Amino acid sequence: MRKIFFFLIMILLVSCSPEPEVLETPVPPTATATRIPNTPTSTPTPTATPLPSTSISATVWENDPFAVVLAYHQFAENHSPASSSVKMRFEDFGNQLQALFDSGYSLVSLEDWMKGNIVIPEGRRPLIFSMDDLFFRNQILLDDNGDIDPNTGIGMHWEFYQEHPDFGFSWALFTNLGDKFYPVGDDPNWREVLAEAIVWCLEHGAMVYNHTYQHPDFRISTPKYIQYQLEENDIFLRELLGIAGREDLIHDLKNIIGLPFGERPDEYAGLQTLLDYTTPEGVPVQGIMEIDYIFRVKYLPPMYHEEYDAMAMPRVSTNLAAVDWLVENTAEFEQAQVCDLGEVPDIYLDDVEYLAEHISFTYTQNDCPTGVYVVRNYLFSVSENLVELITSWQE
Ligand SMILES: [Zn+2]
């Protein structure tokens, strides 16, 4: 009976097209949680002409999504005897892409995951791709037209993505720019060639991060050397973007560090240097990536979870066993759901209070579960009595 009464109230409220009170000035969403009760606060008043509106939907995580961050390294020709965690035969990599796709995985970029923007197609399970020790020509190479060579690791994935767009294309690339030439040492224009490859990556969602200039072991590095290794890699990256005439891309560079060998400095002073490191633009460390093997698999929690630590994000070194494990253990990973939230007047599309109230009205009507909702640039927690903003982000 109570349920029916509630349902009638809901119908009444919705059929009257409640017009929320217009705020004097738009309130920007805050990163801190705002508690919004499910009780409607505005008085329903019929509107004469409907406002221009947009149909919106949410990506819903009924349970907290966790993901594995795979870490690839180099790629090897098919005549190589066997794949390892540092060299994946191209044929094996192709099979891995197919197996991961067929098992229902889709990629989320590391940056989106860190923001809370966990969006993949309905029914699919999240996975994050990363790669270390770049740039080698087996990882990426461009042809004379600036197109990516499909006989490289990133190129193979790019080609696969064209035929399987639901799989997604994103990479977190951890680069050592100071320990090798690219693509070959005797090419006097190697810096220009490398710069073009980096620009291709940044323009296609393969984001470039710091794995130090020459891959030292931080356990035995002095604070001064740690600082040099991080700084020099960043400086050279910016120099290369300058060579390509693409200084405009510097603005979007993040400060995410992949620990060489997955090792932290042994001494406190070295660790402090690592944590205090800022990019040439003054961006503080936003993330630190570890690495381990699949037999000690660790998951990356969502950014709002109490176990999430941006300064210790786990990754899995990718060998054949790692992907076999993912294929066999799909049930470990949450599937994305989609909730149709209907029409929202355009003037309220970025009004976080309106959106929260709108979700609380519509999610049960549309048979959507409680959980975590990604709606536009907002992440909400939706429970039976409360719709709560967890975080928001810029495009
Ligand atoms: Zn490495």
Please compute the mean of the pLDDT values over residues 9-31 and round it to a whole number: 40
**Cα–ligand 1 centroid distance for 273 (angstroms):** 19
Domains (range + CATH), the chain? 2-61+336-392 (no CATH), 69-332 (3.20.20.370)
Contact (CB, 8 A) for 181 and 197: no
Residue 258 near residue 219, CB atoms below 8 Å: no
Burial of 195: CB neighbours in 10 Å, binned 0-12, 13-18, 19+: buried
Alpha carbon of 243 to ligand 1 centroid (Å): 25
Centre of ligand 1 from the C-alpha of residue 353, in Å? 45
Report DSSP state, residue 109.
-
Cis upstream peptide for 333 (omega within 30°): no
Q: How far is the CA of 216 from the centre of ligand 1 (A)?
A: 9
Measure 40 CA to ligand 1 centroid, in angstroms.
54
How far does residue 84's CA lie from ligand 1's centre (Å)?
14
- CA 261 to centroid of ligand 1, rounded, Å: 6
Is it the case that residue 88 has pLDDT exceeding 70?
yes
Please tell me which residue, 42 or 234, carries the higher pLDDT value: 234
Closest among 210, 195, 217 to 284, alpha carbons compared: 210
Q: 327 C-alpha to center of ligand 1: Å?
A: 25
CA of 179 to the centre of ligand 1 (A): 11
Task: Find tokens 């705002």 and name the residue.
Answer: 34
**pLDDT at residue 184, rounded to an integer:** 76
Whether 246 has a pLDDT exceeding 80, the answer reads yes
pLDDT digit string, tens, across residues 149-163: 999 999 999 999 999
Tell me how far the alpha carbon of residue 98 lies from the centroid of ligand 1, in angstroms.
26
Centre of ligand 1 to C-alpha 72, Å, is 10
Q: Is the distance from CB of 191 to CB of 240 less than 8 angstroms?
A: yes
145 C-alpha to ligand 1 centroid (Å): 30
Q: What is the mean pLDDT of the chain?
A: 90
How many CB atoms neighbour CB 393 within 10 A?
Answer: 16
Quick one: CA dihedral 138, 144, 146, 148, positive or negative? negative
Distance 304 CA to ligand 1 centre (A): 28
* Ligand 1 centroid – CA 319 distance (Å): 14
pLDDT digits (tens, 9 = 90+) for 262-313: 999 999 999 999 999 999 999 999 999 999 999 999 999 999 999 999 999 9
Residue 223: in which H helix or E strand, if any?
helix 223-243
Is residue 341 left, alpha or beta, with left meaning phi > 0 and alpha meaning psi from -120 to 50?
alpha
Query: Mean per-residue pLDDT for 371-387?
Result: 97
71 CB contacts (<8 Å, ≥6 apart)?
Answer: 130, 131, 132, 258, 289, 291, 315, 316, 317, 318
Q: What is the mean pLDDT of residues 226-235?
A: 98
Is 193 strand, coil or helix? helix
CA 285 – CA 275 distance, rounded (Å): 6
Residue 96 CA, ligand 1 centroid: distance in Å: 21
Per-residue pLDDT of 69-83, as tens digits, reads: 999 999 999 999 999
